[in-house]
Structure 1
Amino acid sequence: MLPQDRQREIMKQLLEFRTVKISDLSRDLNVTRETIRKDLYEMEEKGLVRKVHGGAILNKANLETKYTNRKSTNEAEKRSIAKKASEFIEDGDTIYIDYGTTAWFFTREILNKKNLTIITNSLPIANEIIDYSDFEVIIIGGTVRKNEKSLFGPIAYRGIENLYVDKGIFGIGGIDLNAGYTNVHMGESEVSRLMMTHSQKIIVMADYSKFNTITMNKVAAIEDVDILITDVNIDDELLKQLKEMNATVITVEPDKGALNE
């Protein structure tokens, strides 16, 4: 088994059990304890795990709260980011909307648009727009991930093969200058990765809390994204470094008034 395959299996166990023991991993993966220690060291260097005596625990950055609870986390920032992203959508566009809570807020911002064709792998987003007569809604099929209520897997990947959009709207789990854009779930990340290659313009929405965070699965490099929309709470030095990498970054002021709607 290759190191990346072992580490993928270790991450799978961590996502399920939150903790792993070196002795158990050595037995299950049929390698020495020293090999497992090296794997855990590399994973800790990537920010995926935290080593503890005799094993490792999952880095908090890789723990997801339930979808409904995450909507209220940094809600003012998410709403403002979503509103700015909606300004890039024109009547008649064909767009892809990724899963996630910021993407859900984005969907609420485009309800006044006309003649949109919307592709999504998110059941909550599809449910939000399904009754609007000005929208043609295409749901990517696949296996349902219950925590996120998103669709992924071989059926989804095959469905994406012949779908292309004017603009792809994506949320993200983490952003790091070296690791790029990353997400927690392997299947969802693959859907995002494929749809990015099928989008003429890639727009990523991320509040300040997503920066300097690395989750397990790489979705894109910094230079792959056309527009990154975040809020003014982003660290100034990090913003400077992103712009030095020729990233187009738009910052918005969180709209506290939106919370009173």
Structure 2
Amino acid sequence: MKQFLITPAAGKRLIAKALVKHGTINKALESGTVVIIAGTTNGYIAEEILSKIDQIDDFSRKKFFRGIVLPPGGPVTSSGRISDESCFPGDVVIKDGVWQKGLTIFDVVNDLKEGDTILKGVNAINYSNGQAAIYIGDPLGGTIGASLQAVVGRRIRLILPVGLEKRVFADLNHLALKLNIPGVSGPRLLPVTGEIFTEIEAIKELTGSEAELVAGGGVSGAEGSIWLAVSGSEEQINSAEKLIKSISSEKPFEF
């Protein structure tokens, strides 16, 4: 067993590199539709997938979001999030291996069919309980509201890429009941069912080794970092060490 420190930015890159290898996504890329809904983690995923299919030109992570959380004192809304859709490029919609530039989940949701895949970032996970939840600022339910029509109605696969920095400890259904009642300020919370994909799943996908969260935190750029204890064969641990070293210098997200 060996322990590794992973920053939030490195974690996003790690998750992205692993999802490029994901069997469900690759099958949909060959014959079907993959929708990568805009978000900071999903920006890394879009970057990796578009690079794989040689269509990375004209893509940038810098505006690939509908709302982001910034430190106190920045230009945020009353909900604590900044919303900036100027120059928004759309979600990344890939149909039969071709990026359909400028489209969003709202443009294609009615055409999605079984075998297609949606990737949507989340704001909270209770990893032990296998729960994930999304902050809702849109009174119509936002992109997850549209996505669930296809996920529940037509069995579209929903993958939820999320860094372990977003871990919470309470039952997310219980938290949603608290946050969604009349009179509460701030965004609402929607628990969703899908395939939760964290740094732990990424290491398993790419190296075959097992990872466990054992500590977290830091300063001077290591804030939000996680310590993972990785176990497996000597070959698997060496592979994990090489992998994590390759992404360890990933710079924090900027827009």
What TM-score do the two structures reach when normalised by structure 1? 0.44
What TM-score do the two structures reach when normalised by structure 2? 0.45
Q: Using CA pairs under 8 Å that are at least 6 residues apart, name the structure with larger relative contact order, 1 or 2.
A: 2
* Greater fraction of residues in helix: 1
Instruction: Decide which structure has the larger Cα Rg and report it.
Output: 1
